[in-house]
Structure 1
Amino acid sequence: MIEALDHVKNQPGFAEATVVVYLVMHGGCLPTLPNYPTDGKVHAGIEICAEDNKELPSDDRDWKDYIMYDYELKEMLDGFNPAKFLFITVACESGVMAGQDTAGAFAGASDSLFDSLGAPGRIVITGSTTPLMTSGDVLGHGFWEKGIKEGRGDTAPTGNGDGETSVEEAFYYCKSLANADGTETASSQPCMNDQYEGEMIL
């Protein structure tokens, strides 16, 4: 992933580019793993599966699982500043990455306890917050298909009706859905950290 980000960053025109990173994977926020950080903060992790690059591609290739935490992603994305950057992760209990966490809020934790991936000029969206689960349909249908592609995010009450659907409008449209078409959007509580000036149009 570091190599991929560096490759994109080193392309001509990167400073004026629009970059979207969309990750759909397993995730968690509770300290159930032996390598869970003990720095007093609430952390979220996503499961990265990587192939062993020392072997030729095959169905029997060795796949390795690794839990990548928010602070590791934050370090990777440091200095990754195209003109427009949208980072989305559809993973259970991943709200910490957007600086939001339901379980932490109930326990009195504040945003300062989360290693958010948010940064100026960037929008971070997560599929759910702790202790809630999510699925690919939440953002796949609610955000991308209905909110962006069909333009429903631009309609009232979440949009301004200007004929263009922004990332922000699509997000709020997605968040407003209540188990539409079997997609449990509202009960997953998607989160957004928006530090992009104005509305982001992809």
Structure 2
Amino acid sequence: MTVRVLLADDDALLRAGLVAVLASAEGLIVVGQAADGLEAVTLARALLPDVVLMDVRMPGVDGIEATRRIVAEDLPCRILVLTTFQHDEYVWGALRAGASGFLLKRASPERLIDAVQTVAAGDALLDPAVTRALIGQFIADTVEPPALRDGRLAQLTDRERQVLHLIAEGYSNSEIADSLTIAESTAKTYVKRIFAKIDAHDRAQAVVFAYKSGLAT
């Protein structure tokens, strides 16, 4: 299956580099380029790409608002946020707006290609280089009684705790499967069970829970 990608970044040189990287991968094709968030929303609406590679810091409508608008319109696009800095306050907002994950712009070409394929397949991706910085910055935003948090943790089996720890490390479902030598479908089942038991709506919330509960440090 060909994965159709829309690029959204105000840096024309960076977009050219991304086009070159993605063109080198079989099954990936860049169908459009946007220089700001408003153009990204317009092109997402017109082209219906599978994945939008979204910069967060763009003039006018930024990546967070563009993400929010695309998600609100229920377009069949999954959004992968690209960021330059590990400590980027915009990334958390993008995740909350409905992005499927984030990746550092300095990631290797292989990592970028894998990230696009991972997100296109319906999985979420949190770059481990950014995850700890985000959690350290935003963990105080969620307040709940320790007893409630510990009670949720106690519901998890040993294997589910293993999986949650890997989620907190930024592993995708396929990477979890490889690490634990299990089928990817089994990994997905574990992730769904964990989300249900700890009352997490997405990977970002699961990562916050793992850090607040002491499972990840």
More strand as a share of residues = 1
- Which structure would you say has the larger RCO, counting Cα contacts within 8 Å and 6 or more residues apart? 1
| Normalised TM-score (structure 1) | 0.33
More helix as a share of residues = 2
| Normalised TM-score (structure 2) | 0.31
